[in-house]
Amino acid sequence: MNVECLLRDSMKTKPKSNRGARQKTSTPKNVTRMNYNENPYGMSDEVKKAVTDASLNSYMYQDFYAVDLKKQLADLYGLTVDHVCIGAGSSAIIDMLGEVFINYGDEVVYCAPTYEAFPDMVSDNGGVRVVLPLTDDYCYDLDAMLAAITDKTKMVIVCNPNNPTGTYVNSAKVEEFIRKLPDHVIPVVDEAYFEYVEDPTHYSLIKMIQEGYDRPLFVLRTFSKIYGMAGLRIGYTFADPLLIDELMKACQAWNVSYNALAAAQAALKDQEYIKKIKALTTAGREYLEDELTKLGCTLAKPCANFIYFDTHHDPKEIRAALAERKIMISAFGFNRVSVGTEEQNKAFIAALKEILAAY
Ligand SMILES: *Cc1c(COP(=O)(O)O)cnc(C)c1O
């Protein structure tokens, strides 16, 4: 069977994706998961209860328009339901952005390494990846991105905080960058880890939408990280209602489950839990920073629930050695470890100490 000739042009030329979802490998079981930036404490008790109750109602279709959740988000941020689009994770919204806005030949500018959903989205739709290096301190290089804008640029991505490096650019700088963009460019700011940032001067770019910014801008958020709901699959974006109307054209039918909607509504009401998780995560991150530094590793300055670090050895080898000890971390240019529970963090450091001593 000649499958190749059946493919859409963009799929014929698309480079192989590195993302887990596009590999034929399962997630290993019975291991310590410090490779997915999940919240190791899980969902709050209120959310667990909401999911359990909702499960029994799952014979029904959920509210496709998700108006209750949208209303809650709108109230929380002083916007309207027309400013919100809900998706099955913010990754699904990234896919929708590509489907609606990226044409063959459109350029999308971003820095790498970054979240792999972005390069996939660009290539899925025949766009051109314009990939710039991060700065020397592993941050998004907004000056270089501005200089890379051409007539063909359709979109710019700012993953802030950035995954996998865990660094952030202060939002005042991001706002300044966005205001300098020409009208034909859509900035997409991914704030999946916004809630973890301690810097009191760092604000969400949702602010610009609240102020009625009348040019393109999408700000993405998710329930997968600090809310501890990764497996439920729900995220959202804020944008001007004119942009949301267009984005909705690519909404998959019934894409957000009944459970996910109920959980998200309960989760938003439980902001105390988010504060608690933030404090626990900061403490765990500081412990890991200290210990990794003592072990001679070089770290990108972390602000979220994970750390990007250089052991000065092959990151894939380090990942494999830890996997043998049933501790999962990631390997990009350097290694990335998610902040776990106190017990997990200690086990990881003990294992890494052993591994590094053997070199
Ligand atoms: C984890 C993550 C997301 C969230 O993905 P979901 O599809 O909402 O689970 C989005 N952006 C970045 C940068 C991430 O690391």
| Structure confidence at residue 21 (pLDDT) | 79
Same structural domain, 197 and 333: no
| Structure confidence at residue 250 (pLDDT) | 93
E strands, 174-284, are: 186-190, 218-222, 235-238
Q: Kind of pairing, strands 186-190 and 128-133?
A: unpaired
| Structure confidence at residue 24 (pLDDT) | 86
User: How does pLDDT run across 10-66, given as a tens digit for each residue?
Assistant: 999 999 988 887 888 888 899 999 999 999 999 999 999 999 999 999 999 999 889
| Structure confidence at residue 20 (pLDDT) | 80
CA 212 to chain centre: 25
- Does ligand 1 have an atom closer than 6 angstroms to the CB of 305? no
Give the nearest ligand 1 atom to 93 CA: 7
The CATH number covering residue 88 comes to: 3.40.640.10
pLDDT at 98 over 80: yes
Same structural domain, 187 and 288: no
Is 117 within the bounds of a domain? yes
pLDDT at 87 over 80: yes
Q: How many domains does the chain have?
A: 2
Average pLDDT, the chain: 96
The CATH number covering residue 322 comes to: 3.90.1150.10
Same structural domain, 296 and 181: no
- Does ligand 1 have an atom closer than 6 angstroms to the CB of 335? no
Residue-wise DSSP of 259-320: HHHHHHHHHHH-HHHHHHHHHHHHHHHHHHHHHHHHTT-EE----SSEEEEE-SS-HHHHHH
| Structure confidence at residue 253 (pLDDT) | 78
92 C-alpha to center of ligand 1: Å?
9
User: How does pLDDT run across 223-274, given as a tens digit for each residue?
Assistant: 999 999 999 999 999 999 999 999 999 988 778 999 999 999 999 999 999 9
Name the residue range of residue 276's domain. 25-42+272-358
Same structural domain, 303 and 210: no
Average pLDDT of the residues in 269-296: 98
Average pLDDT of the residues in 290-319: 98
- Does ligand 1 have an atom closer than 6 angstroms to the CB of 115? yes
Give the mutation target among 157, 162, 188, 190 for probing the ligand 1 site: most ligand atoms within 8 A of CB. 190
Beta bridge mates, 129:
108
- Does ligand 1 have an atom closer than 6 angstroms to the CB of 259? no
User: How does pLDDT run across 103-147, given as a tens digit for each residue?
Assistant: 999 999 999 999 999 999 999 999 999 999 999 999 999 999 999
In whole angstroms, what is the distance from residue 16 CA to residue 339 CA?
Answer: 29
| Structure confidence at residue 307 (pLDDT) | 98
Distances from the Cα of 110 to the Cα of 116, 130, 153, 155, 314, angstroms: 11, 6, 11, 9, 26
> For residue 239, what are its two tokens?
């944008």
Q: Tell me if 228 sits within 8 A of 198, measured CB to CB.
A: no
Average pLDDT of the residues in 85-103: 97
- Does ligand 1 have an atom closer than 6 angstroms to the CB of 265? no
Give the nearest ligand 1 atom to 88 CA: 7
Same structural domain, 259 and 280: no
User: How does pLDDT run across 203-214, given as a tens digit for each residue?
Assistant: 999 999 999 999
**15 preceded by cis ω (within 30°)?**
no
Is 4 within the bounds of a domain? no
pLDDT at 329 over 90: yes
- Where is the domain boundary, 210, 234, 268? 268
Give the mutation target among 86, 90, 257 for probing the ligand 1 site: most ligand atoms within 8 A of CB. 90
Q: Name the DSSP class of 51.
A: H
